Amino acid sequence: MTPPLSFDDLQAILHQHIAPLPDHRKPSPNTRYTIQNAVLGAFGIFFTQSPSFLEYQRRLQHTKGRNNAQTLFGVTQMPCDNQIRTLLDPLAPSHLEPVFIEVFTRLAQHHMLDSFRVLGDQLLVALDGTNYFASQTIHCQNCLTRHLANGHTLYYHSAITPVLVCPGRPEVLALPPEYIMPQDGHDKQDCEQAAGKRWLTTHAPAVAPHQVTLLGDDLYSKQPFCALARQQGFNFLLVCKPDSHATLYERLAFWQANDGMAELEHRRWNGRFTEVMRYRYINDVLLRGGDDAMSVNWFELTSVNATTGEQLYHHSFITNHGLRAHNVAAVAQAGRGRWKIENENNNVLKTKGYHLEHNFGHGQQYLSAFMLSLNLLAFLFHTVLEWSDEQYALLRRVLARRQTFFEDIQALTRYMVFDSWHHLLEFMIRGLELESRLEPQPAPKRDTS
């Protein structure tokens, strides 16, 4: 059976959406390298997790007359690293957003997201900001700034990196990032809250119809963000701390004192000891003061060791999902899934070979952000292939350490040229003698018409 999203399908999506990228160079007969070649060359670096990938391919081109940048990624003319940086610097990362959206849409069409649905029919999208560059010397027009105690200025870049998450599943699915950078017509420095609102407005038409609940930390649980989320068709499930919601917690204390708050307790064996899960919840409480305050539903989860009484977990949330005795535990489990954006996304990108914080090129305009979007696309493509490509999934099961898998790909593409991605995977499977573990493919149906 043909996989619903193969490597070739993903590459076709990428090629389709980079084809119309603008070329900011003045027309010249000496324009040898295309913008598209620069994008694909940079993408190859991130996909193979090899900063020296293009250097190795130039050597193969010299010795063998062809190279893997061409056969795997479609690079027809290979610019050098400095040329790539120059060509990509003027390109806003928003040019790559349609690639993320089309992959998400295709996965939904093939029902590959069905197993991610919780709370009835909801997909969970976690939002969180992360820094991906910082320096006291290198900077550009899109840097954020922070004044340090030593009198120096720190220049840095940040972005919101939304991902689709599901409690109990290790995978996360990257969605288009939103960059926290100076905005035209705004005097104040951009911030995560403003970037989050831009993400909602920009991507609601494509994402919200899929029944999405937004997860986020306390930074997002303010009325302007919650109201905008509902206006754009999203549900929300957000951490809500007492320190930043004084009025709300005064009301909660009143309802608690007057027996207006429901309580529930569950016990479960977690494999080592009995864990007691205590819930308090209430519906229709005003989020803030003022006549225009919106009504939200609040709950609190406290987990303790039944034997020692040690507190294991405590958090409170607000949501627009109605809370009842039969569903509050499931809603709480969904809310706790927010941590996956840090553990399964940001930490993986920083520590598992994607080198999120490495300066692949800073530039004077958008280079740093454009490179990050390509890195996120590489992470997205690998995640999808592990779901949909039987050969890829087999190799990842056998080469369980991510580092080992990529080291093998780097070594093979350094010394050999493969006709296609499929050819590379077949070579690895034969070398590891894994052919017997592949399920036999059904014979194609004959056309009798």
Picking from 51-65, 163-177, 355-369, which range would have the lowest pLDDT averaged per residue? 355-369
In a domain, 218, yes or no: no
In a domain, 271, yes or no: yes
Same domain, 240 and 322: yes
**CA-CA distance, 176 to 135, in Å (whole number)?**
25
Picking from 63-77, 141-155, 353-367, which range would have the lowest pLDDT averaged per residue? 353-367
Give the residue among 215, 419, 248 at the shortest CA–CA distance from 333: 215
In a domain, 206, yes or no: no
Same domain, 331 and 249: yes
pLDDT of 133 reads 85
pLDDT of 309 reads 86
In a domain, 248, yes or no: yes
Same domain, 315 and 410: no
Cα angle value 147/152/153 (rounded, 5°): 50
pLDDT of 338 reads 82
pLDDT of 3 reads 58
Same domain, 252 and 303: yes
In a domain, 83, yes or no: yes
Longest dimension (CA), the chain: 81
Starting at the earlier edge strand, list the strands of the sheet with 123-126: 173-174, 163-165, 123-126, 212-216, 235-239, 311-319, 295-305, 274-286, 262-269
pLDDT of 58 reads 94
Distances (CA, A) of 68 to 273, 394, 426: 52, 22, 15
Same domain, 336 and 385: no
Letter for the amino acid at 356? L
In a domain, 254, yes or no: yes
390-420 pLDDT, tens per residue? 999 999 999 988 889 999 999 999 999 999 9
Same domain, 253 and 285: yes
Same domain, 383 and 436: yes
In a domain, 297, yes or no: yes
Residue range 118-129: mean pLDDT, rounded:
94
Domain that holds residue 71: 1-93+361-440
Same domain, 331 and 368: no
Is residue 167 within 8 A of residue 337, CB to CB? The reply is yes
Same domain, 303 and 376: no
223-265 pLDDT, tens per residue? 999 999 999 999 999 999 999 999 999 999 999 999 889 999 9
In a domain, 216, yes or no: no
48-105 pLDDT, tens per residue? 999 899 999 999 999 999 999 999 999 999 998 899 999 999 999 999 999 999 999 9
Same domain, 323 and 368: no
Highest mean pLDDT among 19-28, 183-192, 289-298: 289-298
306-356 pLDDT, tens per residue? 889 899 889 999 999 999 999 999 999 999 888 766 666 556 666 555 566
Confidence of residue 30 (pLDDT cuts 50, 70, 90): low
Q: Which long-range contacts (CB under 8 A, 24 or more apart) does 429-435 make?
A: 429/391, 429/394, 429/395, 432/395, 432/398, 434/394, 434/395, 434/398
pLDDT of 105 reads 96
Same domain, 242 and 335: yes
pLDDT of 205 reads 96
**CA-CA distance, 311 to 37, in Å (whole number)?**
55
Same domain, 333 and 373: no
* Whether pLDDT at 361 is above 80: no
How far is C-alpha 250 from the chain's CA centre? 36
Question: How many domains does the chain fold into?
Answer: 2
Which DSSP string do the residues of 135-183 spell out, in sequence order? ESS---TT-EEEE-TTS-EEEEEEEE--EEE-TT----EE---EEE---
pLDDT of 445 reads 44
